[in-house]
């Protein structure tokens, strides 16, 4: 598909030259297509970045879903830690994605795309929690999960860019912050659902 070809080309340019060198003519040349054709898909370089982030988001969502059967489910805390570990591994494996969502706050479109994805991830996490535990009625729990994920992202962004991955210390700090925050709204222990104990 031509859109995927454009996104692949933009991804390569980001790796080689960084976001500052990204332009529609450069992307069109890397994709092997006329710039006029590129405008039919993306009106600006930022729109290409948003498209790239959304594609990465879909890949992350699919990875989390594939990982569900193997996530630790002894407690809600181990489950949350497991989901965070999958997210960290994905960010570390895709440094371009990590740079765009953790450090490209100057791009309004990227920030909106990331915010939308955080909302979607919070819904997925809530579904996962409710599938494995008797979650007590908690007003606006999905909104609390949005805050928790946003806190984690912000802490991950504190890792110096030159490290190239989320550092162990920042990952540990993010877990402390997320679990402490959620503990304000969830009980220390939640009964597991019988059908998931096998």
Tell me whether the CATH fold assigned to 1-43 matches the one assigned to 46-196.
no
Whether pLDDT at 118 is above 90? yes
Whether pLDDT at 29 is above 50? yes
**What are the distances in angstroms from CA 82 to CA 25, 87, 110, 142?**
42, 9, 26, 18
Long-range contact pairs involving 4-7 (C-beta distance under 8 Å, separation at least 24)? 4/55, 5/31, 5/32, 5/33, 6/31, 6/33, 6/38, 6/41, 6/42, 6/48, 6/51, 7/48, 7/51, 7/52, 7/55
Whether pLDDT at 59 is above 70? yes
Whether pLDDT at 197 is above 50? no
Q: Tokens 């494995």 identify what position?
A: 132
Say which residues have a Cβ less than 8 Å from residue 33's Cβ, sequence separation at least 6: 2, 5, 6
Superfamily of the domain at 46-196? Tetracycline Repressor, domain 2 (1.10.357.10)
> Which has more confidence, 37 or 122?
122
**Alpha-carbon span 62 to 87, nearest angstrom:** 11
Read off the pLDDT of each residue in 124-130 and give the average, rounded to a whole number.
94
For the chain, give the mean pLDDT.
89
Read off the pLDDT of each residue in 153-157 and give the average, rounded to a whole number.
92
Q: Where are the domains of the chain?
A: 1-43, 46-196
**Alpha-carbon span 178 to 198, nearest angstrom:** 28
Q: How confident is the model at residue 163 (pLDDT cuts 50, 70, 90)?
A: low
CATH class of 1-43: mainly alpha
Whether pLDDT at 86 is above 90? yes
**Is 0.85 topped by the overall pTM?**
yes
Per-residue model confidence (pLDDT) at position 40: 83
At 133, is the secondary structure helix, strand, or coil?
strand
Whether pLDDT at 181 is above 60? yes
Q: Tokens 């819904």 identify what position?
A: 123
Whether pLDDT at 104 is above 70? no
**Alpha-carbon span 163 to 89, nearest angstrom:** 14
């Amino acid at each position: 598909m031509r859109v995927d070809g454009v996104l692949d080309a933009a991804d390569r340019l980001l790796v080689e030259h960084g976001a500052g060198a990204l332009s529609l003519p450069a992307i069109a040349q890397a994709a092997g297509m006329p710039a006029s054709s590129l405008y039919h898909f993306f009106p600006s370089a930022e729109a290409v970045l948003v498209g790239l982030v959304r594609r990465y988001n879909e890949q992350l969502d699919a990875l989390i879903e594939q990982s569900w059967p193997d996530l630790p489910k002894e407690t809600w805390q181990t489950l949350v830690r497991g989901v965070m570990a999958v997210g960290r591994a994905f960010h570390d494996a895709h440094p371009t994605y990590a740079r765009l969502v953790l450090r490209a706050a100057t791009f309004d479109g990227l920030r909106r795309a990331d915010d939308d994805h955080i909302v979607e991830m919070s819904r997925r996490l809530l579904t996962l929690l409710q599938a494995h535990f008797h979650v007590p009625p908690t007003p606006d729990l999905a909104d609390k999960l949005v805050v928790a994920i946003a806190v984690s992202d912000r802490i991950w962004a504190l890792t110096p860019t030159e490290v190239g991955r989320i550092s162990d210390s920042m990952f540990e700090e993010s877990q402390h912050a997320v679990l402490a925050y959620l503990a304000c709204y969830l009980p220390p222990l939640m009964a597991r659902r019988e059908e998931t104990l096998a």
